[in-house]
Amino acid sequence: MSEGKNILLCVSGGIAVYKAAALTSKLVQAGCAVKVIMTESACEFVTPLTFQALSRNEVYTDTFDEKEPSSIAHIDVADWADLIVIAPATANIIGKLANGIADDMLLTTLLATTAPVWIAPAMNVHMYDHPAVKKNISTLYNNGYRFIEPGEGYLACGYVGKGRLEEPEVIVQTIQSFFNQKQLLKGKKILITAGATKEKLDPVRYFTNRSSGKMGYALAEEANKMGAEVTLISGSDHLPKPFGVNLINISTAEEMFQETMKYFNHADIVIKSAAVADYRPKIISPEKMKKKSGNLVVEMERTKDILLEMGQRKDQQFLVGFAAETNNIEQYAREKLKKKNADMIIANDVTAQGAGFAGDTNIVTMFHKDNSVKELPLLTKHETAKQILTEIVLKLGDD
């Protein structure tokens, strides 16, 4: 499935450049069109001629070397790529990219592209473990970049540890897996809500719940991989933004209602996985409430029921809700399915081991309006997301 795909290989200056030459050859053998950008330092290890011969394409090394008057090279190649791989990625390149620096052809192109970018670090074990490098990697991950982890073993500097550029064969397999993903949702617009809302009591206190948003984020990321146009409305602000997703951060239940309704009419599939507050303080104090003797009574009022509202308004949308329960799972899920006019309710027992809040796994059961039921075993939240989305595709095909 990678055959015919355009891969832009960005090569920065480290001894592992020799592996990038082998990677170029293997990508070409796999049927990819490969173009290469090299930093000035990379050219000290292997000449551009090597990559030109292996890729059968011109190699880019200088932002100002414009051979085609009709186009700007770094914009042209940035638009050309289906996927960009930085291999090897030095600590220097990672640091500059994390801080938006564009002082050469490679970095300028990376800032100009909208294609997915994978980074394959290669450096000394202590450099890889340095707090500054870790911070830069975290920044890039949160910005949507993805990493091909380095391997462990003997390094060119003589140390033994983590920092070796991953083997070219493994990188090619990773690329092929990426392109092999079935585009089951291509052309579909999906609206997903995730995380917990926060309802203010005063300037320092609020009511919330334990939802982390991980399930909704996994759904958004996997839906994007399946080709969907995804909008994610989230009460969580601590998770990395899923690549290629339109992320809208909110805080309160009212804000989530307003943003959800903005996008609802244009969605083909709506998945409400957010844990929205059912109640909020009726009166919000403009100043911090001070301790007093005796008990405190806070009067609460109902928030809007977003799933119910969508169920009443839906036209062509396939509507999915979540039911996080502690008992009578099937009864409550079926009642919710009917009351909210949903097409599917995904229920889980949050007291079960591996299915609670904030974890990386889940155990869910899918209840459909046609009375069919499908149970999933303990899976990672990303695997659960894939199964849920595949089930939605099957149900859409039955309609």
What residues act catalytically?
157
Listed in sequence order, the DSSP H helices in the chain are 17-29, 48-55, 73-80, 91-98, 105-112, 125-128, 131-142, 168-180, 214-225, 253-264, 306-313, 329-339, 381-398
Listed in sequence order, the DSSP H helices in 90-235 are 91-98, 105-112, 125-128, 131-142, 168-180, 214-225
Is 288 marked as binding a ligand?
Answer: yes
Determine the angle formed by the axes of helices 73-80 and 105-112, rounding to 10 degrees. Answer: 50
Q: Is 385 exposed, middle or buried (0-12, 13-18, 19+ CB in 10 A)?
A: buried
Whether the CB-CB separation of 51 and 59 falls below 8 Å is answered with yes
Is 214 marked as binding a ligand?
Answer: no
Q: 193 forms bridges with which residues in the sheet?
A: 233, 272
Contacts of 397 (CB under 8 A, 6+ apart): none
Is 322 marked as binding a ligand?
Answer: yes
CA angle (174 as vertex; 104, 7 as ends), nearest 5: 40
Residue type, 175: I
Whether the CB-CB separation of 232 and 242 falls below 8 Å is answered with yes
Whether the CB-CB separation of 179 and 33 falls below 8 Å is answered with no
Q: What tokens does 108 get?
A: 């300028």
Is 340 marked as binding a ligand?
Answer: yes
3-state secondary structure of 308: helix
CA angle (267 as vertex; 265, 269 as ends), nearest 5: 130
Binding-site positions read 278, 288, 322, 336, 340
